[in-house]
Each structure stands twice: as structure tokens, then as C-alpha cells.
Amino acid sequence: MIKMTKYISIVVTMLLIANSTVAQYNKDFGVKLGLSNYLGDIGGDELTRRGFVLDMKLRETNLVAGVYGRYKINGTFGVQASLNIGKISGEDQLSSNIGRNTRNLRFKNNVKELSVKGEVYIFELNDVGNRGRYWVDMKTYGHAGLTVFHHNPKGRIDGTAEWHKLQPLQTEGVEYSNWGFGIPMGVGLYFTYKRKHRFGWDMTYTTTFTDYLDDISTVYADPSSLGSDLARDLANQSNLTDATPGLLANFAPGEKRGDPTHNDGYLFTTFSYGYVIRGKSNFYTQNYGWLSGRKKTVRKVRAKF
């Protein structure tokens, strides 16, 4: 019975130490900066649309910036919330697909998103460099979650410099919302230096539930159904100078303008810096403060007789 009590005491002590150690570095907050790109109906190569990064144009890469907060539930799971603003854009004239190139449309859009993602830590290295000082640790992880975003696509008429908001013009005769939802998924890693500074890298592709990030989805609307000359000019800018015979029919009302079978998506690749919040329990401070270089304080009490 005494041995069993001793073993139980040892196990409880080890669990308390482990729990205190995990709680020691379970929160970090910081900033992000990186690159953004988009996959949708504008741009692309000679073939029909391909998924993920295969149809993205490097020349249309833009910037994204944001802030984040992370909470590590335990050594395996964590939660991250982030607020990001990223620009996406596309240009048909950059495409080698004759149909898209001759369609001659372009857009830009600022996506403002709030994302909440669960993280699963895949690989951990507690002492990078194996120096025995545990100043640098590394974690790699996969993540997925839910994003809510606001967007407002703009377009311009070929040969002009002014950009116009496209959503109010309903260039396809379709009313869509400036708000949307998406499913972000990706991978990342971070290094923690001296238990305070956290440097990270993250790649996240967000599949959205809208096909109108670029204001293109279905067919050409009947010009007479559009509400203004500006809407008509922005809706159909086909350049038939180099068009192949018979291509003109593709730009008539009711003919294909976009691909409604695939929703739009965007890719954010960011680098981050965060500061780690060190929340220690009283048990850890009183009994294991020496692990962080602090000596245990012994309270002296004067004897009274």
C-alpha cells in the first residue's frame, strides 16, 4: 500500500510538472506579412482551369498583412485566430488561353478576413542545434478552420486608368454579397527563441463559397438588361482583333463568360513574429522556478518559545 501511494504521488507530481510546463508558453500574439495570389476565372494557362496553384500567375502576386493570436491547448493541439487584409488581382491579357485572352477582362479586390483555425502539431524539436540550452525550439503543424471575409471587386475598361466597383453594377445580371465564407487549410512552422520570441511561416489556401471574387461566374448578360452604359462597357470588353474564326459567338448574350462549376479561392503565404505570454502556475513558480533560472525562495520564520 505504501509503494502504491508512493507511485501515485510520483505520477501526480510528473503530471503537475508537465501541465505547468505546457501552460508556461501556451499563448502568443503577433503580426504577419507575406504574399497573396488567387485562383478563379481570370488568367490561367492554355488549358482549361486547373486546381490549387497550377493556374495562378506569379505576376499577379500581391501583399497581405495581418495580426494573430494563438492558444496551445496541449502539446498536440492549438487554436489560432487571425485578422488579415490581402489584395488579389487578375488580368486576362496575361493568359495563354485564347478564350480568356480575347475576353479581355481584369479585376482587383481587397479581401479582409477573420479566420479561426485548429492546429495539429506534427513534428517537434525541443532543442534546435542540440546545444543543451533549449533556447530554440521548433514545431511544424497542419491547420484547417473557418473564414468569414469581406470583399469588393473592382474592374476597369481596357485603355483607361479608373477602377470601378463591380458588385453594384451586376455585370452578369446577378446580385451577390460582398460577404462570404471559406474553408482555410494549410501548413506552417514556427521557431521559439529564448522562450519569448516566436518566428513563423504559414501557407494557407482558402476555398470560398462564392464564384464572384473576380465578378465573373456564368454567362454574358443581355446588354439591354444592364442598368447603365458603364455596366455594359465593363461586362463585355472582348478584343476580336486577333480572334480565331467563330470566336465571336462566345461573346454573345447567354454565352459562356465564366465557369460556375468552380468557386474562387486565394492563397496567403506569410511570415510572422509573435511574443510569447509566459503564464506560470503557483505550483511551478514555487517548486520548479530553477528551470527558468530563478532560485526557489525559502521563507524564514523566527521560532517562538
Residue 58 placed within a domain = yes
Neighbours of 243 (CB within 10 A): 16
pLDDT of residue 231: 95
Residue 176 placed within a domain = yes
Please give the C-alpha separations between residue 230 and each of 47, 236, 255, 284, in angstroms, as whole numbers.
Answer: 31, 10, 20, 68
Residue 302 placed within a domain = no
Please give the C-alpha separations between residue 267 and each of 38, 227, 230, in angstroms, as whole numbers.
Answer: 6, 34, 31
pLDDT of residue 65: 98
Q: Are 250 and 143 in contact (CB under 8 A)?
A: no
b/e map of 120-147 (b: 16 or more CB within 10 Å)? ebeeeeeeeeeeeeeebbebebebebeb
b/e map of 252-264 (b: 16 or more CB within 10 Å)? eeeeebbbeebbb
Number of helices followed by number of strands (H, E) in the chain: 4, 10
pLDDT of residue 24: 56
User: In the 3-class helix/strand/coil scheme, how is 192-217 assigned residue by residue?
Assistant: EECCCEEEEEEEEEEEECCCCCCCCC
DSSP state of 256: B
Per-residue pLDDT of the chain (305 residues; tens, 9 = 90+): 555 445 445 444 444 444 444 445 689 999 999 999 999 888 766 666 666 666 777 889 999 999 999 999 988 999 999 999 999 999 988 887 888 888 899 999 999 999 999 999 998 887 655 565 556 788 999 999 999 999 999 999 998 999 999 999 999 999 999 999 999 999 999 998 888 899 999 999 999 999 999 999 999 999 999 989 999 999 998 876 555 555 655 678 888 898 898 899 999 999 999 999 876 544 445 544 544 455 555 455 554 43
Residue 146 placed within a domain = yes
Domain coverage including residue 253: 2-287
- In the structure grid, which three cell numbers stand for residue 74, read together? 496541449
CATH number for position 36: 2.40.160.20
Residue 303 placed within a domain = no
pTM > 0.85: no
Total number of domains in the chain: 1
Residue 298 placed within a domain = no
Which residues, in sequence order, are bridge partners of residue 84?
66, 113
pLDDT of residue 8: 44
Please give the C-alpha separations between residue 290 and each of 11, 144, 285, in angstroms, as whole numbers.
Answer: 21, 38, 9
pLDDT of residue 133: 57
pLDDT of residue 51: 60
Residue 248 placed within a domain = yes
Residue 20 placed within a domain = yes
Alpha-carbon distance of 296 to 283, in angstroms, equals 11
pLDDT of residue 102: 85
